[in-house]
Structure 1
Amino acid sequence: MKRRTLLSSLASIGAVSVAGCIDDTGAGGPGTDEPTTDEPGTTTGDDDGTDTPNGTDDDDDDGSDFNPDEQTEAARFEIGSPEGVAFADNNKPVPVHVRNDADEERDFALQVTRPTPGSSDDLQLRDLGTTTLSADAYVTVVFYVPAEYTLAVEGDGRTLTEHQLDHGDFECNSGFTSITVAEDWSVETGGISTMMACPSPAARTIGVGQGEGQCAEAQDHTATVSYGDEEVSVEGTFITPTPCYSVDVAESGYDDESDVFELVLEATENDVDGCVECVGQVDYEATVGFEADFPAHVSVVHRTNDGDTEVGRATWNADFELGGE
């Protein structure tokens, strides 16, 4: 799902402070993104009629005044490349800034992980090493390829936070995410973004091609799904009562909440005088052309008298490898 809860509206990212932005995950202690709530302080009125929290007119440094254009970037790392990203206008890079909001120099270690291509549960790991940040300086990690990632931030001998990204964080809006580490090593995650309405993935064309049915060599329905430049291809086998059937599209649709496009196929009996008596299989190829954007996932379902069964699924950029610097 494309990220619809945006953090703040602005005309120019570089010219606007982050002060007053809505925090997208809340402030939490070390190693967690869970929000915490401070007890409300007392409010007193000064002679000029201005209310000041907690009886003082000193500005507390809550990490909300971060502006990358006005503070020092100590290092920058890039994950992937902008070259070859499909629907690039709707999948802009996602910069994540890790800021040292302290009065002294401190070290921060960063690691990026993501799923390994294939069916393995192992994770790819890219170690970005340790960066020394002076007071109020920051390090940037830019993610270019729409996919699932975890950015781990370590400091003070422990993991301070693990920031999650997925396909929905890549969209048509421009902005950044900030991970601010306070003097006591607590973490606040926030950011800023423009507020354009981004188009959702939509199927432009759907086509199904197939050969003649034949007696089945197996009993299982199958489908292999793969992403192309602006289309998704499916190669599948539909098991039928006899070989004299054709595969057609029953229905299709995109669910914004799960970011899944579902293609439902069914087999209909051909109008023929006679057919060989055997369980059949129909091999087919289907192509779905998309406009505006790709869905994060594509599911292929075969509909039979026994109900609907998912026989194939693919995730966009599932084969992306983190690589090195």
Structure 2
Amino acid sequence: MRRRTLLSSVASIGALSVAGCIDDAGPGNGDPATDDPTTTPGEGTDDGTDTDDGDDDTEFGPDEREEVERFAIGDREAVAFPDNNNPVPVHVWNDAESEREFGLTASTGARGRDLGTVAVAGDAYVTVLFNVPAEYTLTVTGDGRTLHEHALDHTDFDCNSGFHSVSVHEDWSVDTGGISTMIACSGPENRSGGIGVSEGECTDRDASEATVDYYDDSVGAEGVFVTPNPCYELDLADTSYDEETDTFRAVVEATDATGTDEACQECLGQVDYTLDFGFANDLPGHVVLVHRRDGEETEVARATWNADVNLGDGDEVGTFL
């Protein structure tokens, strides 16, 4: 089970502000937790003196402020297990009295989408809505420099509702924070799996190889296992899921099937195979495929869910009402 904890905010520059749980959950998300908002002093913007005037204007809340623009990253129609992968909004708040300009870029891997420069009125904010579970970086620039790089990964997308916030203060220092419901969400559950193996044959290959692909509710793989001779057999030896790293691991093992009274052709062999794993609730963020022979393991393939997510063409998609 994945249990959403209160968004533990990492301050890029300045103090760290962490809000409590939101007051209303989205449809089907159950009852939110009732923790009170708290503020944790950080470094840079705090002078070491805690004051409480009963009215903390440094706490970000989207309902209390104007959203000047909203951008969408990805298409919800392409999301597998959508009820367990709610979109994640990231609000960039201009915590200042005057209008300022922020540059925004959403990227994944080596690909990026330039959202342009947005003029944000004082005490207003701009939102980037990430619709598809993937690994992202939202880069915020201003004052002639990079102010913050906000990272998201697959585990930020689950059955809970909430938001992330990037607060840019009057002196251009930055805090990050957010709020979320705290529902125990079901993680990936491998419900089915199997291996299909071809007959071994001689080969001039010098190395094994494999590829891993994601589908709507499953993961598939195709591979070639290079063996000392063509008489090896392959089995799906092990599968496991690590919740902490959101990684599903599968091990294909090769064993010599040559009998004591049998001879095998003397040549380097290859055995082709296919794998298929069906999942319930969600898909793992990462898949690792390992070959094992004579007790030694070698990673031959690794894939990340939605690594090829469509970031869009940079067009602004309208203001959220």
Structure 1 residue 323 displacement after superposition: 2.9
Structure 1 residue 176 displacement after superposition: 0.3
Aligned residues: percent identity?
A: 54
Counterpart mapping for 1:1-325 below 5 A: 4-7=4-7, 8-12=20-24, 21=37, 38-41=47-50, 53=51, 57=53, 59-61=55-57, 63-64=58-59, 66-115=60-109, 123-270=110-257, 274=262, 275-305=264-294, 307-324=296-313, 325=315
Structure 1 pair 28–82 and aligned structure 2 pair: CA distance change class (3 A)? farther
Preserved CA contact (<8 Å) 2:21 2:35: no
Structure 1 residue 58 displacement after superposition: 6.0
Structure 1 residue 91 displacement after superposition: 1.1
Which structure 2 segments of 5+ residues have no match?
8-19, 27-31, 316-321
Any idea what the Cα deviations from partners look like across 1:47-91, whole Å, max 9, x if unmatched? xxxxxx47xx46342x21x32223211000001110121111111
SS in 2 for 1:242: coil
Aligned to 1:46: none
Q: TM-score, normalised by structure 1?
A: 0.82
Structure 1 residue 37 displacement after superposition: 5.5
Structure 1 residue 28 displacement after superposition: 6.0
Q: Flag the structure with larger Rg.
A: 1
SS in 1 for 2:155: helix
Structure 1 pair 187–3 and aligned structure 2 pair: CA distance change class (3 A)? farther
Structure 1 residue 314 displacement after superposition: 0.8
Aligned to 1:47: none
Aligned to 1:49: none
Residue range with higher mean Cα deviation, 275-284 or 67-76: 275-284
- Distance between the aligned counterparts of 2:63 and 2:209, measured in 1? 52
Structure 1 residue 276 displacement after superposition: 2.6
- Distance between the aligned counterparts of 2:39 and 2:179, measured in 1? 9
Structure 1 residue 19 displacement after superposition: 11
- Distance between the aligned counterparts of 1:165 and 1:75, measured in 2? 21
Preserved CA contact (<8 Å) 1:78 1:143: yes
Structure 1 residue 258 displacement after superposition: 1.6
Any idea what the Cα deviations from partners look like across 1:207-251, whole Å, max 9, x if unmatched? 101121111231211111111111111101112233222211111
SS in 1 for 2:184: coil
- Distance between the aligned counterparts of 1:234 and 1:39, measured in 2? 55
Preserved CA contact (<8 Å) 1:239 1:280: yes
Q: TM-score, normalised by structure 2?
A: 0.83
